Homo-oligomer: A and B are copies of this chain.
Amino acid sequence: MQPVTTRAIPERLSRPQQVAEAIKSWVMAKGWRPGDRLPSEAELIDRFAMSKGTIREAIRILEAQGLVKSRTGPGGGVFVHQVSEERATALLGNYFYFEHLTIDDVYQIRKALEPELAASLAGRLSDAQLRALEEVMTCYDAPARSAAEERDQHIASLRFHALLAEMSENPLMRFLIRFTANMLADITVSRKLYTQPNQELWASGLDYQQRLIAALRSGDSAAARSILAEHMHNAHRLMHLQETVLTQRFLPESKII
């Protein structure tokens, strides 16, 4: 038997990673905010006593995380950058490239969150906001007559929900609603050819947005909650009838509802 040399944890970070972490702590400690400029490459090389290549790799790491952006030219350099919603969505999306999600998974979350969102917004929206919601609704006035039309309506519906989320003051709620909407928008409908669009089902949800906006305007949060809960139930059922499946792919950063 050999005496096993227990290597505490072989999880040593590469030097660029160490430098990236160091810069991150530095930014935090100094309280630098988006727009502030980090020291130039040359200064970083001095301060960390690392070569240009290593420093550059460290900066790439931070850039990939969305924390900095760099510009060339005079007055250029590396700048602290607020992580964008797009970047955060893409990065989290990568996680679910491997942890496969089903339609049911996404709808379990939507069913829990969306009614709560609606309830929390009731009576708190301005006229301008309510009008903006009504604006997005226009493409709903008729039931879909083809699979393609139905899919378009679904996408439009997701946009409506994303807009609603945008009106929440809760950044986590905003992000999650929009993230799940993006996951659903990024699907392929592989419906059997003989399946007809289910008109009654959409008809039942046709006026839900009018009713929702009325509830939001009057401040009836219980009504808003139940209207959205009912709609989620219908939408989920419709996806099942369509035998919709989630595609597996890395979300491009650009694509956002």
Contact = CB atoms under 8 A, between A and B. Distances in A.
A224 to B, nearest CB: 14
Interface in A10-37: 16-17, 20, 24-25, 28, 34
Given A60-B64, A63-B61, A65-B94, A105 B172 contact: yes
A208 interface: no
Contacts of A62: 64
Q: Interface on chain A toward B: helix, strand, loop, or mixed SS?
A: helix
A108 B169 CA distance: 11
Report how many copies the assembly holds: 2
A165 to B, nearest CB: 12
Interface stretch (A85-93, A129-137, A214-222): A85-93
A51 to B, nearest CB: 11
Interface size class for chain A? 35 or more
Interface stretch (A95-103, A148-156, A234-242): A95-103
A19 to B, nearest CB: 11
B98 A34 contact: yes
A171 B66 CA distance: 24
B63 A109 contact: no
A87 B97 CA distance: 14
Interface in A102-156: 104-106, 108-109, 111-113, 115-116, 120
A233 interface: no
B250 A99 contact: no
Contacts of A61: 60-61, 63-64
A28 B250 contact: yes
Contacts of A65: 64-65, 91, 94
Contacts of A105: 170-173
23 contacts: A17-B63, A24-B250, A25-B250, A34-B98, A57-B57, A61-B61, A64-B65, A65-B65, A65-B91, A66-B94, A66-B95, A67-B94, A82-B98, A85-B95, A88-B92, A88-B95, A101-B172, A106-B172, A108-B170, A108-B172, A111-B116, A112-B112, A112-B116
Interface of A: 16-17, 20, 24-25, 28, 34, 53, 56-57, 60-67, 82-83, 85, 87-88, 91-92, 94-101, 104-106, 108-109, 111-113, 115-116, 120, 170-173, 175-176, 180, 249-250
